[in-house]
């Protein structure tokens, strides 16, 4: 549906990356630009996964 469309995503947290994911699902090429420390949401989901598997997270 969106094949050939390029999207540059500079946002973090839930709404904008979620929208970029939907655009990618529809065929757009999404280029994600993150700050040097990475997207803070990566750490949120990593912590939740560790809690679900029983592996403690520190930091």
User: Where do the domains of the chain lie?
Assistant: 6-53
Residue with tokens 């949120």: 44
pLDDT (0 to 100) of residue 2: 92
> What are the tens digits of pLDDT across the range 40-59?
776 665 555 555 555 555 54
As a whole number of Å, the CA-based R_g of the chain is 14
Question: pTM for the complete prediction?
Answer: 0.61
Whole-number Å distance between alpha carbons of 59 and 54: 16
Contact, 38 vs 12, CB < 8 A?
Answer: no
User: For residues 21 and 27, is the Cβ–Cβ distance under 8 A?
Assistant: no
Which one is predicted more confidently, 5 or 43?
Answer: 5
Tens digits of residue pLDDT in 23-34: 999 999 999 898
Q: Which run of H or of E encompasses 54?
A: none
Average pLDDT over residues 1-18: 87
């Amino acid at each position: 549906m969106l094949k050939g469309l390029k999207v540059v995503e500079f946002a973090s947290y839930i709404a904008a990356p979620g929208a970029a994911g939907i655009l990618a699902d529809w065929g757009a090429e999404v280029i994600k630009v993150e700050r040097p420390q990475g997207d803070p949401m990566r750490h949120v989901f990593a912590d939740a996964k560790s809690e679900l598997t029983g592996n403690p997270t520190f930091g």
